[in-house]
Structure 1
Amino acid sequence: MAGQRDDRPDQLQAEIIKLRSQKERLLKELDAVEAQYGNLDSLYRRYFPIILEELSQDGTALGKACTQLGTAMRKKASPAKIEYIFGQIKTAMIQEDVGPVAAKKKKGFFASFRKNSSEDQMLDNIRQSYQDVVNHLKSNLDKKYTGKLESITTNLIRIEDIIDFEGVRENIFSLIFNYISETSQDREKVNAFIRDIVARIFEIEKRLASSYEHTSSLLSSNQGFESLLTDEMAGIKKSFDVAESLDDLRAKISTGLSSIEKALQKKQKVDQAISQLAKKSKNSFTSGFAKLKQELHAATKYSEELEKKLNEDQLTGAKNRRAYDKKIEEEMDRFLRYNNIFSLLIIDADKFKDINDTYGHAIGDRCLQEIIKRTRPLLRKSDMLARYGGEEFVVIMPETDVDGAMTAAEKIRQTIEKIEFLYKEETVRVTVSIGVSCIKEGDKSPTDLFERADMAVYKAKENGRNQVMAQ
């Protein structure tokens, strides 16, 4: 055993030497990589702006974005700004139909019947609108969503038929649901952001709806033309049947009319196919739009439920410490900026440990629930009632001086002392001690206010409990 202990320091020394050697080797490799990166970075910043200047001569949105990128690289802008400008370049390329994708585009069935570029323009506008939504998401969401957003952009570039936008919309909403479930940000801000995104999508979908209506109008117009042409052809045939002396001419014209009739029949079949596809697309859009509304309602409701759970005390239904911290900081900011006063009440249940020990935690929990139930109706909508911890509650009262806060606190105290429970034929009563404090000049943080209110509670306890004291 002694020999093994003697060998241990030597082994450790050998390990230390080995680790130091590995560290030195890794540091050398790191220096080499940093040097290589520095050379590449210098090379890019030196020559890339020159190339971009040549691309920016045409005055298009892509050209302007290239100019911005060149300027940003010369000024050594932050990676975030460089990434944002690359997003602008990608958007401009989509809008201006730049890149190898344009040469490889394949027309869908619906697109093959287009007679002019107006529908292509509408398709590009919808594509650009969705790309704007994707860019907005990319600039606001975490980096972990970048891959999915890039995939949506790739799908947008490939779209050739209006009906394909339904898949893009579903992918965006799937990503939004993941974001709602995973984010830990302030729920009010999350809800506002989601409402903004959905409003943008609704606006795009309204334009899609109008495009379907436009297609239906065109088909109706074609059908009216075909009906008139058919009637005219029948009249011409009838007149030629009467003209017996023009047999040869009638035969030739009849042949021509027969060809026209066949072409018209072919056109009717094509238009019927377009009509069926447009009807199918419109039905798909209508059902998809209804599904979108359901998803929006579900997303909003889900987000609101999460927000409620994050800010609500599960036992009493009052706001929790998290909600209190946010509210008190907001009121403190208003005081420091606009000198808007506010007051704080700290409500502490008297001898609550004795209640728990004597009657059990179930009765103790019921006491806390009754305190909240009786206190809430005595407060204004602008006041916040929160459970601070254990048997301690706080009330934030905006635009309230110490006299107003004392009046409210006394009403709460008188109401709560009337609470009675029967436990095995024994009456259980509960009272509270309340500390009151108003923000004042010189306070720099909510802690200053809280400590005074807490000291007032301590004095109320010392004076016999079931009292209201101000500090």
Structure 2
Amino acid sequence: MTTATDTDPWRTKYYDSLGRLEEQQLQFRAMETALKRLVGRLCTAALGLAPPLDEQLRKLQAVIRRETTAEELEKLTPALTEAIGALDHPLPPPLTNPSDDGVASDERLRSILGALLLELRRDAELVEQADALDQKLSAALTSEQLPDVLATLTDMVGKRIQHIERAKEEIEALLGHMVGKLDEIGQFVAEQHQNQAQSQASSETLNTQLVGEIKAMGETVETAKDLLQIRHQVRSRMDAIDKHLKDFRQREATFAAAISTRNEQMRSRILELEAEARRLQSQLQDEQRASTLDVLTGIPNRQAYDKRVDDELHRLRRFKQATCLAVWDVDHFKRINDTYGHRAGDRVLRVVADCFASRIRSTDFIARYGGEEFVMILPGTHLEDALRFGEQIRTAIAEIGFHFRGSPVSITISSGVTALSPDDTAGTAFDRADKALYRAKQEGRNRCVTV
């Protein structure tokens, strides 16, 4: 028979064991919480390495956020292990869309290639080749065609670099030639100075000789004893003077001939130098004009606008002439690009630019500011007249019957118009017109708003 005294040690041991178990359970739960937090952070850190791994990591994150079992975690282990192992043998990113059966139809890629072709068209020798390649980009490219297109672009870029280097060498050679001609001019000036000094020295020599002969003649007259002797001495002195004059004329004739020859040589050099300078000036002007024109639309670019607006503000402050600034933006241009492709978007920009250029006055200015945005300067125009003119252009653009590959494409444009003031800077004026453009967009687009 067991007594109470016998059961006390067992009871004590039981309670002690129960307390240790509860303490261990609390420790395990704390450890589990810490491990879940650690696993969650590791999953977050590993996201983005590869899509298959991301999928398994998100599954693991979803599981550890709730109560789970060892069996459920074990089920995730094989797929997670496989996804981690695949990181050691990454697959190359696909160049084509699988749904297109290997067709590289990425519009962004073709847009980038098209922009590169626009730059290559600056080289007159590459225009025909660029047009041919641009025609290929009008349709989707297969994965087999893409390497050939890239190889052709690489070749064209190489040719463009060669042409730029050749032009650079020509300019350097021309400048070197001009420096040589300038050295010749400097030498000619030095020789002219030397000839002038020699001529002056010859004149001084003649003067000294003449003074000496005349003085000697006077002394002879005073000391002569008869008329015959005087006549003989005077004749002798006159012969000497005549000889000095002949020598002087001979020296001057020699100097004049040398100077005439050098002048003719220098005249020929200067004419040659002027012709080369004109050719260089024309080449530089062509380059400057090209740098201020937008390649896509053919109208001035932002660089040209920045210079023109500063000139107009200076003229406004000086002459107090009313001048307006209009900022234009093609409505829903992204939708056109997304629906019809970037080639259609490029054609829309060219059509809009042509409409602007054909309707502005000779004193007005239009430029492509960037993307689908244009900016217009209207000198000698009050705000009401600028708004009326803007409405005419807006209506004309809305009435354009534009089609791309047989599909009609609606084109509308919005504008913000403001009058320049003497206190304006280029930035403040543009910001004000841009805010008016924003209002036009908010109010429904296809409209002109003044501020």
TM-score computed with the length of structure 1 as normaliser: 0.41
TM-score computed with the length of structure 2 as normaliser: 0.43
